[in-house]
Structure 1
Amino acid sequence: MNSDQNKVQVMRTLWGALLMSHCLFIYLTINYLHSESAVGPDDMMMKILPFMAFIAAIASFWINRKAQVQKTFDQYFVFSILSCALAESVHIFGIVGIVLSLPLNYYFSFAASGIALHLYYFPRKYPAE
């Protein structure tokens, strides 16, 4: 394997590790739902969490677009990992919603959006090649 192939392999490994965290989030959410929550839903959080998740998703998409025009692989690598991390944060907002006793459909929309964004960012090859 040459150096560029190694870099792409590392990138795919990191992408896969971040994707596995979505599975962990789902597992944690299922276990949390089986416990009792004494906190009722907060109306302010029902407005703030979707807004923050939307901002994270837009930032993730914007950073991924910036990654596609980077001149060096190292810059591309950093932007790509940042976009995956922001996609993961959308799912994390869903978990926070579950902890705050928001309706379950909030969690499902955040989880689906985060996973879809993450899958969209699968590292293919360096676009400048």
Structure 2
Amino acid sequence: MDNKPESVTIGGLAKAAGVNVETIRYYQRRGLLNEPVRPAGGIRYYGSADIARLVFIKTAQKLGFTLSEVSDLLRLDDGAHCLEASELAARKLQNVRGKIDTLKRIEELLSEMVTRCHTQQETVACPLISSLYKGVGIL
């Protein structure tokens, strides 16, 4: 990705991408985003390619990719590695489906516990609290 003429400061870049300035600095330390050379005037400027890269990073994170995985995806961004990117996404999809299954089990158990609480009248021990003490085999 080549930068168009540099046009915004780090504050402008942060605003344009909807992130904090410290987030940009962190991404730079992680090697996810290049840090422009500081010119004689002392202010670094960023271009549209930097904004696009930040949007890419944040979108990938919203899809559940870790920053390490985002780094892998960025390395694959040359048009010749679609299969590798697809394999990474397939692993992420499998992970997401596993989490969904776990959340469904949690939902069922919580629903069952709430129902037991509402059906128990004047008991000394709350069925929900008792179940938590006994341990619930979810995870």
TM-score by length of 2: 0.28
Which of 1 and 2 has higher RCO (CA within 8 Å, sep 6+)? 1
TM-score by length of 1: 0.30
For the pair shown, which has the larger CA radius of gyration, 1 or 2? 2
